Amino acid sequence: MTAQSHDIFAALRDRAVAALRALLPDLPEEALARVQMEPPREAAHGDMATNAALVAGKAARQPPPRLAAALAERLAALPEVAEAAPAGPGFVNLRLREDVLRAQIPVILAAGEAYGDSAAGGGRRVNVEYVSANPTGPMHVGHCRGAVVGDALANLLAKAGWAVTKEYYVNDAGAQVQALGYAAYWRYLQALGTTMTEEEYAQLIPGGLQYRGDYLVPVGAALRERFGDSLAVPDPAHRYGMAGPDHWLAPVREFAVARMMEAIREDLAALGVVQDVFVSEAQLIREGMLERAEALLAAKGLIYRGVLEPPKGKTPEDWEPREQTLFRATQFGDEVDRPLRKSDGSGTYFANDIANHLGKIERGFDALVHVWGADHGGYVRRMRAAVAALSDGRVSFDVVLTQIVHVVKGGQPVRMSKRAGTYVTLRDLIEEVGRDAVRFTMLTRKADAQMEFDLDKVVEQSRDNPVFYVQYAHARCRSVLRQAGDPAPAALAAAPLHHLADPAELTLLRRLCAWPRLVEAAAAAREPHRIAFFLHDLAADFHVLWNRGRDDSTLRFIRGDEPEATRARLALVAATATVIRSGLAVMGVTPVEEMR
């Protein structure tokens, strides 16, 4: 069975397109490409709704309502369709035959967790870059949200048929990494036994001491073990003092970045995030990728020397109208052209990012997807312009922006970390509530919506906690199946499914049938939070059915006096558990077998 055949929405869309071709043989393909088959906004309107008559009517210059009536007549004649009716300005609502819904149960049981796999991506290569935090300190809750969203999105794209590479861009060049080197050197001097105070040291270095968290104490000790006292100078007043930075800054910075990246990888692994590729900004610069990118853009006539207009609003005091090397970003939809070189000749932050993206393009990716913090929203247009210029429009570029997370406990903000000193770390969060709860909760809001992560609610066992609510549904499914002796999926697939006729059973079936379409839609929209929403709705449908069985004995899953009905209901339960596991796998969450 192919991935495409899982999706009854796709199958009915194909039927609608075929009917349109029969009605309008000269209809252009671009109109047919816009035909959609979706769940209606209200369940009372049917199982599916299509915009086919609306898009075709405009293209064929025919009244969409009249075309919808003709299309509904053709669709009503299909063996899968129980009823088809025109609606609104050109939609057609469809109600499927119940046996079509029931027929998806054997499909689900045969496919297992691969149910919902799609060929929509066509095996095209997509690079998903996420986290990419500066290697200057522990991962915090903001990084956590980006890590979960990025990882789930990568999993979602893979399920939708893309060939996915998960990537981390290591920002190991620039002022912040320089500041890390100075901070690590202070911890090194402490490890040697300096009597210099922190403030005395801070006054000796450019920009002061930026990173003061205890997390650098082990780095200082490791530096002492690796280099002894060779990077410091004896000082009678302080026992050990600061040597000239030319002597120690480069090796300390390199050592500190390596240790920070080890810690970051460990933090990500604790969250269940393992990326395929780590790309170093410093290495790209050393390899001349910036110059290659600039030469490529110059060859396309997209580089020039010029003077930018002053920034909009209040002009900064340090702004000066100097001639710069500029990229013609406005040719690709940006607001202004962008500088590539600083006054000292080094690359701007934007230029280094262009080099990074040229590397991705040269590795043959068809699509680039980034997960960035919302504070980078103003950076999207210039990078989209750069990717369009570098790839001649061949490579698509998408950015998912994540908003900040507020951690609360007992109704009060949680602000401090034992390790970092100023923020809640990713490790703190995992140790408090567990990896699966962190991952699921981070996907219960759209990425660009602010989030309140309530530590109390995340571990609460109630229907108000979506993590518990979905896991409880799976645990209930497994409990029923264990009670029945864990029958094989193949045996359940052969059950007489006509016994599934109660409205609550059919509602659950409709939800299961919608999973393949949901995968494709969520992947196309780059919105992994839709998976969490779907699973919550699926769990709600199952819990309703469970409770119906408590109130009405004829709807219980296992009935000794009705073995055939029992087999049919066990098939429905097994299919529900399968789809929950399929969704949780995308989210990177382990399904619970039983609740304690």
Q: Tokens for 113, please give them.
A: 């967790």
Closest to 81 measured CA to CA, from 47, 54, 120: 47
As a whole number, mean pLDDT of residues 342-348 equals: 84
Q: Does domain 4-96 have CATH number 3.30.1360.70?
A: yes
3-state DSSP of 531-543: HHHHHHHHHHHHH
As a whole number, mean pLDDT of residues 71-85 equals: 96
Q: Tokens for 167, please give them.
A: 């990537």
Confidence at residue 314, expressed as pLDDT on a 0 to 100 scale: 67
Report the distance separating Cα 516 and Cα 26, nearest Å: 31
pLDDT at 61 over 80: yes
Residue boundaries of the structural domains of the chain:
4-96, 175-270, 462-587
pLDDT, tens digit (0-9, with 9 covering 90-100), for 312-337: 776 666 567 888 899 999 999 999 99
C-beta of residue 413 within 8 angstroms of C-beta of residue 407:
yes
As a whole number, mean pLDDT of residues 461-489 equals: 95
pLDDT at 310 over 90: no
Q: Where residue 288 falls among pLDDT bands split at 50, 70, 90?
A: very high
Q: Tokens for 518, please give them.
A: 């949901």
Question: Is it true that 4-96 and 462-587 share their CATH fold?
Answer: no
Closest to 529 measured CA to CA, from 7, 39, 521: 521
Total-model pTM: 0.94
Give the strand order in the sheet containing 125-129. 277-280, 163-170, 125-129, 367-373, 396-402
As a whole number, mean pLDDT of residues 220-247 equals: 93
pLDDT, tens digit (0-9, with 9 covering 90-100), for 177-196: 999 999 999 999 999 999 99
pLDDT, tens digit (0-9, with 9 covering 90-100), for 384-405: 999 999 999 999 999 999 999 9
pLDDT, tens digit (0-9, with 9 covering 90-100), for 105-121: 999 999 999 999 999 99
pLDDT at 6 over 90: no
Q: What is the CATH number of domain 462-587?
A: 1.10.730.10
Tell me what percent of the residues of the chain surpass a pLDDT of 70: 97
Confidence at residue 346, expressed as pLDDT on a 0 to 100 scale: 85
Tell me what percent of the residues of the chain surpass a pLDDT of 90: 84
As a whole number, mean pLDDT of residues 153-173 equals: 97
pLDDT at 1 over 60: no
Confidence at residue 418, expressed as pLDDT on a 0 to 100 scale: 54
Confidence at residue 417, expressed as pLDDT on a 0 to 100 scale: 61
pLDDT at 3 over 50: no
